[in-house]
């Protein structure tokens, strides 16, 4: 087993009952802006959590702390039992590989075939020669094909990415995260500016993937009704602070009014 896989397996085993994500009194500042202030939360393996709140509340910043791309200004961010701020760059990259993120802008290379975009999910693991060679002679075709089958577009492996519809490109971005084989999937507003039918399809897919693989899911959403329908737990963020952290069924209209009041 490759060293990185062994390390991932060890982390998975040691953290099977510990929270996968833990923030302890975390604040995150960008110059004078306090994007997050004194946030404390723990997310257990397999949970499906929605982050909701007005624009600028700190949702994207919170996701970037959970995937290790941002370190807190103060407080502790612990991912898979490892405190992010204390890790060497190499260990931090390994942790980042275990947390896959789907962004609203898919960051796909339009003029490449779908397989190359999906295979970009391997880049953290592949050597540079292997990555370059794969552009000429695609590597791990079966893994990519399986990921595309999981997201429902098995037949698009060699299609040019920019010829796909917006919904299909979103699925390619998700397939790229799946080949990374992360323990958790984070999605930053995956259904913003998308029609209701495509939103439902994407949320159905994310839920089905988390149910079938047991992967933890943390999704930031503007659409409260989707958060309630698809997630078990809802964290309401307002002005960088956690206003509530409740089971989806417990979220009341009074809580939502307070969250979104002007
Ligand atoms: N890289 C950055 N540099 C400066 N300010 C930032 C940066 N990222 C986020 N912010 C600020 O932090 C606050 C929270 O932003 P963000 O996490 O993007 O909120 P949300 O995703 O809920 O809309 C906002 O005021 C935003 O302008
Ligand atoms: Mg955002």
What architecture is the 1-98+182-262 domain classified under in CATH?
A: 3-Layer(aba) Sandwich (3.40)
Whose Cα sits closest to atom 1 in ligand 1? 30
Radius of gyration of the chain (CA): 18
Q: Residues enclosing ligand 1, CB less than 6 A? A: 30, 33, 35, 53, 55-61
* Ligand 1 atom 16: residue of nearest CA: 58
CA distance 79 to 61: 15
Domain extents in the chain: 1-98+182-262, 101-181
What ligand is nearest to the CA atom of residue 240?
A: 1
DSSP string, 116-134: HHHHGGGTTTS-HHHHHHH
Q: pLDDT digit of tens for each residue in the chain (262 aa)?
A: 555 555 555 555 554 568 999 999 999 999 999 999 999 999 999 999 999 999 999 999 999 999 999 999 999 999 999 998 888 888 888 888 899 999 877 789 999 999 999 998 887 777 777 777 777 677 788 899 999 999 999 999 999 999 999 889 989 999 999 988 899 999 999 887 778 888 898 899 999 989 988 999 999 998 899 999 999 999 999 999 999 999 999 999 999 999 999 7
Residue nearest to atom 4 of ligand 1 (CA): 30
Strand blocks (E) in the chain: 21-30, 33-43, 48-52, 74-79, 82-83, 99-102, 184-188, 216-220, 233-238, 241-247
Q: Which of 27, 34, 35 to probe ligand 1 with, by most ligand atoms within 8 A of CB?
A: 35
Residue 247: CB atoms within 10 A of its CB come to: 10
Ligand nearest to the CA of 57: 1
């Amino acid at each position: 087993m490759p060293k990185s896989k062994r390390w991932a397996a060890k982390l998975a085993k040691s953290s099977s009952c510990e929270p996968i994500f833990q923030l302890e009194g975390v604040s995150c500042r960008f110059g004078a802006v306090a994007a997050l202030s004194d946030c404390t939360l723990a997310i257990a393996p397999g949970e499906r959590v929605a982050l909701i709140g007005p624009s600028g509340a700190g949702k994207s910043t919170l996701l970037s702390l959970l995937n290790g791309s941002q370190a807190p200004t103060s407080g502790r961010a612990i991912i898979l039992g490892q405190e992010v701020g204390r890790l060497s760059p190499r260990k931090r990259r390994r942790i980042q590989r275990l947390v896959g993120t789907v962004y609203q802008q898919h960051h796909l290379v339009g003029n490449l075939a779908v397989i190359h975009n999906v295979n970009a999910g391997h880049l953290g693991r592949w050597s540079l020669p292997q990555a370059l060679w794969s552009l000429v002679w695609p590597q791990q075709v079966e893994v990519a094909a399986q990921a595309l089958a999981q997201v429902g577009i098995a037949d698009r492996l060699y299609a040019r990415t920019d010829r796909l519809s917006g919904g299909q490109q979103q699925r390619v971005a998700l397939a790229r995260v799946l080949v990374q084989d992360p323990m958790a999937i984070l999605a930053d507003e995956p259904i913003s500016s998308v029609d209701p039918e495509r939103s439902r399809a994407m949320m159905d897919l994310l839920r089905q993937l988390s149910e079938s693989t047991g992967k933890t899911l943390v999704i930031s959403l503007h659409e409260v009704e989707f958060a309630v329908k698809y997630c078990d737990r809802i964290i309401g963020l307002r002005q960088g602070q956690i206003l509530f952290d409740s089971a989806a069924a417990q979220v009341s209209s009074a809580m939502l009014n307070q969250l979104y009041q002007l």
